[in-house]
Amino acid sequence: MPITYTSGEQVEVYRFSIPVTLGVPLIAVFLQAFIQSRINGLSYLDLPLLVTIFFAMARRNPIAGLVTGAIIGLAQDCLGPYPIGIYGIAKTVVGYLASSLGVRLDVENAGTRLLITIGFYVTHQAVYFTVARHMVNLTLNWSWSRGILAGFANAMVGVLLYFFLDRFKQRT
């Protein structure tokens, strides 16, 4: 029997309606593309990543998590200048880890969500950079300061976003 750190109530698995399942990731990808060019300072924000983390943690199903991450990541790749698959791989890993962690941890708490999002943001960046540099041979440079700052900013936005998206959860 696997050891978990969640209460019986929090182990409950959620599901989402089809419009939310399709609409929220699409809106996230669209807003990421649109707002970033309009509002200065939002380039640090990775809305598709936050949505991936949220869905993966709420469903608590690793397969659903990794598939969600892969689809959102590939959609993001399609709009970007680099080869398709870099974001796909990074978000697949994050989706899998987030859903696996969601089974074991209480992810309804704001503090936990903040820390988890920072951790996943850095993980996402690390996977992205690894793939981009060693597979695609892009000359990207890693910046710790940017990683931590952007991770914290994303976590702050993520906590608010998660509480908003909690409204769309449906108990199974």
Partner 1 sequence: MESVLGRYRNLIILVGVLFLQILGLAVQVKKAETDTENTRLIRIWAVQAVTPLERGLVRIESGFGNLWHNYIYLRGVRAENRDLKDKIEQLKLEQVRLSEDAAQAHRLQAMLSFKEQFVAKTVAAQVIGSSGSDLSQGIYIDKGDDAGIRPDMAVITADGIVGKVLRVYPSTTLVLLINDQSSGVGVMLGKTRLQGILKGTPTGEVALENVMSDEEVPVGETVLTSGGDKVFPKGLPVGTIAKVKGHGDRATFLEIRVRPSANLSKLEEVLVVLEKQEQQSLAQESAHQRAADILAQRLPSVPEKPPVEASGSAASTGSKQAAAAPGGAIATGNSVKPAPSSAATKPQLSKPAPATGQTSASQQPKPDVAKTIAPKPSAPKTAIVSDGGAITEVPSKKPTTPPATKAVPQTVPEPQPSIPPSTTNDSPQ
Provide the binding-site residues for partner 1, judged by CB under 8 A: 29-30, 32-34, 36-38, 40-41, 43-46, 48, 62-63, 66-67, 70, 74-76, 78-89, 92-93, 96, 100, 125, 128, 131-132, 135-143, 145-146, 150
In angstroms, the CA 61 to CA 85 distance is 22
Contacts of 102 (CB under 8 A, 6+ apart): 56, 57, 58, 59, 60, 65
CB of 51 to partner 1, least distance (A): 13
Which residue do the tokens 């993966």 mark? Answer: 56
Contacts of 82 (CB under 8 A, 6+ apart): 132, 136, 138
In angstroms, the CA 93 to CA 89 distance is 6
**Closer residue to partner 1, CB minimum distance, 20 or 138:** 138
**Closer residue to partner 1, CB minimum distance, 46 or 108:** 46
**Closer residue to partner 1, CB minimum distance, 137 or 172:** 137
In angstroms, the CA 83 to CA 128 distance is 12
**Closer residue to partner 1, CB minimum distance, 62 or 158:** 62
CB of 54 to partner 1, least distance (A): 18
CB of 168 to partner 1, least distance (A): 21
CB of 164 to partner 1, least distance (A): 21
Which residue do the tokens 């649109």 mark? Answer: 34
The distance in angstroms from the start CA to the end CA of the chain is: 22
CB of 90 to partner 1, least distance (A): 10
Question: Quick check: 85 and 77 in contact, CB under 8 A?
Answer: yes
**Closer residue to partner 1, CB minimum distance, 72 or 165:** 72
